């Protein structure tokens, strides 16, 4: 926070204010139809230029006392005003709905599919999920559109507001709306693990040396139990604490994915490994279950079961 510029800080305050305002105006709903109270309209940069043109023409017409130039300036002004209504019409009546919760692994992109519905044609709609800058341009109205959002942390999130905007027909006004849909999305832990876990999961016995020792030395991560610390090594090199990881207990049950009671970075690590294991098990077609410190998902198989397990990992 301290290295934010004033502009960024102001922007943050501005957004907080807008959020609060929008929360009152349009709380999240399953289906949102764009109506008058949800659509905002302001001139675009080109619209300001156009207004400047109108003023110039008015000055020109007045100075030359030329009615035709004045007429043209009024014609452009009435076009300018009319395009407020037209850009409103281009947005109103559009119904947004997000039928399914999107899912993704951390570090990837979550891609919620938004279904769009309307009785009339809409042109040149631009959609984006709010924190994201990249817009999806829809020349015409498709049945559904897939937006994308970069995610980094696991969890279950509320779908952010979707900005729907359009400059159709003359690019003079931008009509937009911030739509909150009652939907969430899942971010699962990214699937990765150290080589041992990987080998175990694939039941590759080509490196027996490590399995024999049963123990693995690894750098200490915050949240790991202090009991596993190798104190002798800590005395030698206090900046790099090392722990003994007891693999055997974890992999004693091959069809169970077990996440030990850890916290912090160590937990994240374990979850990532568990995620990988789950994926592998599902791929191999065996029945498997998930054991979390607080909860156990009984053994089963299939995509729904995998989803259930991954969701539990995300929430853990």
Per rule CB under 8 A, is residue 41 in the interface with another protein? no
Per rule CB under 8 A, is residue 113 in the interface with another protein? no
For another protein, what does the binding mask look like between residues 120 and 139, x meaning CB under 8 A? Answer: ---xx--------------x
d(CA 155, CA 245): 26
Which CB sits closer to another protein, 53 or 234?
A: 53
Per rule CB under 8 A, is residue 144 in the interface with another protein? no
d(CA 183, CA 98): 7
Could you write out the DSSP letters of every residue in the chain?
A: -TT--HHHHHHHHHHHHHHHHHHHHS--BSEEE--GGG-EEEE-HHHHHHHHHHHHHHHHHHHTT-HHHHHHHHHHHHHHHHHHHHHHHHHTT-EEE--S-EEEETTSEE--EEEEE-SS---SEEEEETT----EEESS--SEEE--EE--S-EEEEPPPEEEEE-TTTSSEEEEEEE-BS-EEEEEPP----HHHHHHHTT--S-HHHHHH-EEEEE--TTS-GGGB-HHHHHH-TTS-EEEEEHHHHTTSTTEEE--S--HHHHHHHHHHHHHHHHHHHHHT--EEEE-SS-EEEEE-SHHHHHHHHHHHHH-
Q: Which residue has the tokens 């039941």?
A: 203
Tell the smallest beta-carbon distance from residue 120 to another protein (Å). 11
d(CA 46, CA 170): 9
The span of 18-26, 50-58, 179-187, 257-265 binding another protein (CB under 8 A) equals: 50-58
If DSSP states are collapsed to H, E and C, what string results for 104-124? EECCCEECCEEEEECCCCCCC
Q: Measure the CA dihedral 129/135/138/144, to 10°.
A: -30
Tell the smallest beta-carbon distance from residue 180 to another protein (Å). 26
Per rule CB under 8 A, is residue 286 in the interface with another protein? no
Chosen residue from 8, 23, 66, 240 binding another protein by CB under 8 A: 66
Tell the smallest beta-carbon distance from residue 304 to another protein (Å). 27
d(CA 208, CA 222): 29
Chosen residue from 42, 56, 144, 295 binding another protein by CB under 8 A: 56
The span of 16-24, 44-52, 178-186, 201-209 binding another protein (CB under 8 A) equals: 44-52
Chosen residue from 22, 69, 271, 310 binding another protein by CB under 8 A: 69
Tell the smallest beta-carbon distance from residue 66 to another protein (Å). 6
The span of 54-62, 154-162, 249-257, 273-281 binding another protein (CB under 8 A) equals: 54-62
Per rule CB under 8 A, is residue 3 in the interface with another protein? no
The span of 24-32, 64-72, 226-234, 241-249 binding another protein (CB under 8 A) equals: 64-72
Size of the site for another protein (CB under 8 A): 40
Tell the smallest beta-carbon distance from residue 74 to another protein (Å). 4
Chosen residue from 35, 85, 144, 261 binding another protein by CB under 8 A: 85
Tell the smallest beta-carbon distance from residue 306 to another protein (Å). 33
For another protein, what does the binding mask look like between residues 151 and 190, x meaning CB under 8 A? Answer: ----------------xxxxx-------------------
Per rule CB under 8 A, is residue 64 in the interface with another protein? yes
| Contacts to another protein by CB under 8 A | 46, 49-50, 53, 56-57, 59-79, 81-82, 85-86, 123-124, 139-140, 167-171
């Amino acid at each position: 926070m301290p290295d934010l510029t004033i502009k960024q800080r102001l922007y943050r305050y501005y957004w907080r204010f807008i959020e609060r305002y929008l929360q009152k105006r349009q709380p999240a709903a399953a289906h949102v139809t764009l109506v008058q109270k949800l659509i905002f309209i302001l001139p675009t940069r080109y619209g300001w230029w156009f207004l400047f043109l109108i003023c110039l023409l008015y000055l020109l017409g007045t100075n030359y006392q030329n009615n035709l130039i004045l007429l043209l300036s009024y014609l452009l002004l009435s076009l300018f005003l009319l395009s407020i209504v037209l850009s409103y019409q281009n947005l109103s009546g559009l119904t947004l709905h997000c039928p399914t919760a999107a899912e993704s692994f951390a570090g990837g992109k979550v891609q919620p599919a938004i279904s769009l519905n309307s009785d009339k044609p809409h042109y040149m709609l631009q959609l984006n999920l709010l924190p994201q800058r990249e817009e999806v341009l829809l020349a015409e109205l498709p049945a559904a559109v897939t937006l994308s959002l970069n995610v980094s942390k696991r969890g279950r999130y509320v779908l952010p507001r979707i900005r729907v905007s359009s400059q159709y027909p003359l690019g003079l006004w931008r009509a937009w709306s911030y739509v909150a849909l009652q939907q969430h999305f899942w971010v699962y832990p990214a699937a990765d693990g150290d080589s041992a876990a990987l080998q175990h999961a694939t039941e590759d016995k080509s490196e027996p040396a490590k399995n024999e020792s049963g123990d693995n030395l690894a750098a200490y991560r915050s949240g790991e139990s202090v009991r596993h610390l190798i104190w002798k090594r800590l005395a030698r090199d206090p900046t790099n604490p090392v722990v003994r990881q007891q693999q055997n207990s974890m992999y004693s049950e091959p069809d169970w994915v077990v996440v030990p009671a850890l916290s912090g970075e160590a937990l994240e690590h374990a979850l990532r490994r568990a995620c990988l294991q789950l994926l592998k098990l599902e791929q191999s077609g065996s029945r498997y279950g998930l054991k979390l410190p607080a909860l156990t998902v009984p053994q089963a198989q299939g995509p729904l079961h995998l989803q259930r397990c991954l969701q539990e990992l995300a929430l853990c």
